[in-house]
């Protein structure tokens, strides 16, 4: 697990946000028109790319390449303690 993801989990992740993320992933499984979704936090933004099954964790305080961490949606869901997986029907 990368530093940005660890910091996001420690500093911004909540049960409410986990629920919103899970609902979005579930919706994307059944609605192929959902290609991207963004969640904006205080320090970290999440960008879900359902076409690539990828999520980017971005630090709004660091615009350099070290301020972004990309990982699979399944890896991200596992890291945040979700029981979902992302098998999007494309």
The pLDDT value recorded for residue 83 is 75
Would you place residue 87 in the very low, low, confident or very high pLDDT band (cuts 50, 70, 90)? low
- Classified as helix, coil or strand, 26 is helix
Neighbours of 3 (CB within 10 A): 11
Query: What percent of the chain is modeled with pLDDT above 70?
Result: 93
| pLDDT range class, residue 84, cuts 50, 70, 90 | confident
Residue 31's pLDDT band, with cuts at 50, 70 and 90, is very high
- Is the pLDDT confidence value at 14 over 90? yes
Query: Helix (H, G, I), strand (E, B), or coil: what is residue 64?
Result: coil
Q: Is the pLDDT confidence value at 85 over 80? A: no
């Amino acid at each position: 697990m990368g530093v940005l993801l660890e910091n996001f989990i420690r500093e911004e992740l909540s049960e409410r946000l986990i629920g919103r993320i899970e609902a979005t992933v579930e919706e994307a499984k059944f609605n192929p028109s959902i290609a991207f979704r963004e969640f904006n936090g205080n320090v970290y933004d999440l960008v879900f790319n359902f076409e690539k099954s990828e999520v980017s964790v971005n630090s709004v305080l660091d615009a350099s390449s070290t301020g972004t961490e990309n990982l699979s949606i399944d890896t991200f869901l596992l890291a945040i303690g979700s029981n979902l997986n992302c098998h999007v029907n494309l």
